[in-house]
Amino acid sequence: MAKVLVLYHSVYGHIETMAYAVAEGVREAGADVVVKRVPELVPEEIARKSGYKLDQPAPIATVQELPEYDAIIFGTGTRYGNMSSQMKNFIDQTGALWASGALVGKVGSVFASSATQHGGQESTILTFHPVLLHLGFVVVGLPYAFQGQMGVDEVMGNSPYGASTIAAGDGSRKPSAVELAGARYQGKYVAQIATKLKG
């Protein structure tokens, strides 16, 4: 059985919601899944004033545990078309894992969120991919076999690079049914590939 980590950073809860949908998909594939988050770098007082969702139940991950998993599915909000600084800070601590090749051959995948429809979900995922390739991951996206990303009758995230959601500038829009379905599909797909590679 493949072991999958869903590792995320979420400010207002959108990526957290997507992370648990990804985990549902992993379970559908019969794999073992753990949901964890990276440490928050914003001081608690400022986070509270800014409306951060501070009651996230997922435990904090450590860099040292990453080699325990056959696949890691990363979730991050968009910061000017890139991953959040919290996620980048966590990954920047993987130098020893890079040097030893500890993550080579593992499956890596990314999902994202942004405030607006064209706020950088795709570029965030695409700029995340080179980081995974440097670490030796086998990069997996969200194939068009997931038909939910084909329509134009509603505003939605998702792309062949990975699942995504749109939060609105004030965080009022929650992940839609099709966005959550994309996240579940991605989780299941990654788990299936990780299982095949492990076998």
80 is in an annotated binding site: yes
Q: Which of 173, 175, 128 is nearest to 148 (CA)?
A: 175
Q: Is 10 annotated as a binding residue?
A: yes
Q: Residue type at 105?
A: G
- Give the separation between CA 112 and CA 157, rounded to whole angstroms: 9
85 labeled binding residue: no
Other CB atoms within 10 A of residue 42 CB: 13
Enter the tokens of residue 7. 């590792």
What token pair was written down for 64?
A: 């040292």
Angle between helices 14-28 and 177-198 in degrees, nearest 10: 50
Q: Is 134 annotated as a binding residue?
A: yes
In the beta sheet, which residues pair with residue 111?
Answer: 75
129 is in an annotated binding site: no
Give the DSSP letter of residue 68. Answer: G
Does 79 carry a binding-site annotation?
A: yes
Residue 78 annotated in ligand binding = yes
> Is 161 a known ligand-binding residue?
no
Specify binding-site residues.
10-15, 78-80, 98, 134
Specify binding-site residues for substrate.
98
Specify binding-site residues for NAD(+).
12
Specify binding-site residues for FMN.
10-15, 78-80, 134
